[in-house]
């Protein structure tokens, strides 16, 4: 499905994409099986909320943020220096691992199309609730706040993968048919505006104990990251502090084996599994059940880079042997089978990242002591001594390393960090034969360029 939707009305697309599928755990209310009119979708909070929550299910199950092997956690891990790919020559992951991406790549086309489909659906909901006369003001705020967050989240990953992109804020075909790519700076301004509005609309409290629906601190977590990536360091520090100061809601787990459990006190936002008893797709993707691996394994270089006594090495990494050969795999999520009652959900935002965001923002502003204090919170939880870094450059290098150890195989952090620290060419040219500086961006899918020439020119190198 293309970015542009000719002759499609608001609710026709919304219902076609989101309410005619079977209801899953994200959807609290079963929707009628027949096609609904726009009035009936937004006459009732429950049906509007069901359409919104189903978008979460689609993001969880398909596209960039899925825990399946097609998602960024696996593909960008293979694109950088976290993972080694295995499998037959037809494996889509090998194109990422071998640095052989083309504009015709099917996975990249899915990233683009599925994200913009989900953005379009979010815009449909925004327009529907704006017109609704029967949904209460408080419920409208909640729905709008969550939907703005979704729109910002998807554009955030798109801009970091593709560079200049369209920022889609309407379902109007006439507007979308002429859409052009914005500069990365303009995209970030739109992301920040959506997240500012989202945080202002959403409540501070969670709607459930399992933290599967965004509140204002989820919006602030992404806002802190967006500000950091955009070079707005004071603002990034302030947004991270707003979360870190809420010690009644968030605290680093002392036991590192509890970090990725559903009940973790450091989880800011996570995807609920499709059914009770199901756990994460990440565990299915990364767990190696028999040797040799058939999908992927951690690179030995990553495994050996952990410092002596780092409990992340012993708790978040496991190995499997065959004779004298050893392979390692990510063991952050430990349950790859049905457990009766779910014990792990896929985490999108957690507290350790906010410490590292504030540390980076502080060092960029010259607050070296504050940066080291934040960095040491993460190190001490991992069983390490305080950092020996002193200068600004040393602290930044320590932060890059700490992020590597803390956030490996989590939705592409390593790739984005290498780009932000401007070390992507230095690091990946060593481990990726034929690496070019233009490989820091993915190609715009050729199908999209053919359908809408306004998206030209293609990214350099493709």
pLDDT in tens, 342-369: 999 999 999 999 999 999 999 999 999 9
Q: Is residue 438 part of a domain?
A: yes
Burial 28-42 (b: 16+ CB within 10 A, else e): eeebeeeebebeebb
Q: At 37, is the secondary structure helix, strand, or coil?
A: coil
**What does the block give as tokens for 269?**
């936002």
Residue 68 exposed, middle or buried by CB count within 10 Å (0-12, 13-18, 19+): middle
- pLDDT of 39 reads 60
Q: Is residue 296 part of a domain?
A: no
**What does the block give as tokens for 273?**
């599994």
Report the alpha-carbon distance of residue 453 to residue 60 in Å, rounded. Answer: 31
Sign of the dihedral through C-alpha 244, 248, 252, 254: positive
Q: Is residue 255 part of a domain?
A: yes
The H or E element that residue 249 is part of is: none
Strand pairing report for 83-85 and 267-271: unpaired
**Digits of tens for pLDDT over the chain (462 positions)?**
445 433 333 344 444 444 434 333 222 333 333 333 456 678 889 999 999 999 999 999 999 999 999 999 999 999 999 999 998 889 999 999 999 999 999 999 999 999 999 999 999 999 999 999 999 999 999 999 999 999 999 999 999 999 999 999 999 988 887 899 999 999 999 999 999 999 999 999 999 999 999 999 999 999 999 999 999 999 999 999 999 999 999 999 999 999 999 999 999 999 999 999 999 999 999 999 999 999 999 999 999 999 999 999 999 999 999 999 999 999 999 999 999 999 999 999 999 999 999 999 999 999 999 999 999 999 999 999 999 999 999 999 999 999 999 999 999 999 999 999 999 999 999 999 899 999 999 999 999 999 999 999 999 999
Q: Is residue 115 part of a domain?
A: yes
Q: How far apart are the first and last CA of the chain?
A: 22
**What does the block give as tokens for 98?**
């071998």
- pLDDT of 176 reads 86
Residue 82 exposed, middle or buried by CB count within 10 Å (0-12, 13-18, 19+): buried
> Taking the mean position of all CA atoms in its chain, how far away is CA 277?
23
The tens digit of pLDDT for each residue in 211-247 reads 999 999 999 999 999 999 999 999 999 999 999 999 9
Q: At 205, is the secondary structure helix, strand, or coil?
A: coil
Q: Could you tell me which of 390, 357, 388, 356 has the C-alpha nearest to residue 375?
A: 356
Q: Is residue 295 part of a domain?
A: no
Q: Is residue 183 part of a domain?
A: yes
Q: How many domains does the chain have?
A: 1
Q: Is residue 253 part of a domain?
A: yes
- pLDDT of 174 reads 83
- pLDDT of 4 reads 43
Report the alpha-carbon distance of residue 20 to residue 325 in Å, rounded. Answer: 49
Distant-in-sequence, close-in-space partners of 172: CB < 8 Å, separation ≥ 6: none
Q: Is residue 393 part of a domain?
A: yes
**What does the block give as tokens for 234?**
């004071």
For residue 92, give Cα distances in angstroms to 88, 286, 329.
Answer: 9, 16, 19
**What does the block give as tokens for 344?**
């792990």
Q: What is the span of the domain harbouring residue 52?
A: 10-273+346-454
Check which CATH number belongs to the domain holding 169 and give it.
1.25.40.390
């Amino acid at each position: 499905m293309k970015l542009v939707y000719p002759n499609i009305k608001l609710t026709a697309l919304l219902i076609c994409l989101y309410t005619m599928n079977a209801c899953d755990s994200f959807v609290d209310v079963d929707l009628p099986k027949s096609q609904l009119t726009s009035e009936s979708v937004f006459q009732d909070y429950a049906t509007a909320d069901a359409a919104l929550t189903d978008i979460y299910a689609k993001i969880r199950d398909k596209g960039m943020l899925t825990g399946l092997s097609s998602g960024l956690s696996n593909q960008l891990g293979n694109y950088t220096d976290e993972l080694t790919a295995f499998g037959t020559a037809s494996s889509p992951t090998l194109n990422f691992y071998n640095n052989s991406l083309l504009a015709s790549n099917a996975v990249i086309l899915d990233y683009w199309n599925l994200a913009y489909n989900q953005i379009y659906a979010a815009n449909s909901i925004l327009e529907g609730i704006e017109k609704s006369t029967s949904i209460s003001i408080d419920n409208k705020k909640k729905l709008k706040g969550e939907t703005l967050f979704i729109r910002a989240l998807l554009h955030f990953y798109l801009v970091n993968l593709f560079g200049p992109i369209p920022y889609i804020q309407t379902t109007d075909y006439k507007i979308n048919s002429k859409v052009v790519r914005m500069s990365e700076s303009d995209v970030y301004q739109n992301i920040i505006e959506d997240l500012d509005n989202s945080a202002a609309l959403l409540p501070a409290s969670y709607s459930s104990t399992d933290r599967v629906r965004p509140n204002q601190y989820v919006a602030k977590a992404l806002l802190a990251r967006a500000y950091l990536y955009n070079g707005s360091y004071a603002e990034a520090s302030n947004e991270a502090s707003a979360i870190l100061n809420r010690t009644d809601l968030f605290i680093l787990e002392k036991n590192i084996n509890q970090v990725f459990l559903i009940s973790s006190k450091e989880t800011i936002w996570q995807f609920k599994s499709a059914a009770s008893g199901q756990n994460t797709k990440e565990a299915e993707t990364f767990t190696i059940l028999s040797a040799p691996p058939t999908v992927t394994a951690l690179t030995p270089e990553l495994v050996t880079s952990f410092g002596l006594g780092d409990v992340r090495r012993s708790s978040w990494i496991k190995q499997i042997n065959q004779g004298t050969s050893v392979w390692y795999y990510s063991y952050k999520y430990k349950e790859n089978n049905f457990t009766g009652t779910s014990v792990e959900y896929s985490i999108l935002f957690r507290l350790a990242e906010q410490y590292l965001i504030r540390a980076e923002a502080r060092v960029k502003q010259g607050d070296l002591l504050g940066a080291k204090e934040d960095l040491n919170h993460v190190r001490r939880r991992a069983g390490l001594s305080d950092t020996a870094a002193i200068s600004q450059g040393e602290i930044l290098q320590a932060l890059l390393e700490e992020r590597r150890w803390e956030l490996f195989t989590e939705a592409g952090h390593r790739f984005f960090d290498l780009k932000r620290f401007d070390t992507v060419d230095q690091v990946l040219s060593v481990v990726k034969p034929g690496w070019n500086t233009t490989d820091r961006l993915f190609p715009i899918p050729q199908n999209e360029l053919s359908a809408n020439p306004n998206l030209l020119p293609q990214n350099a190198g493709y």
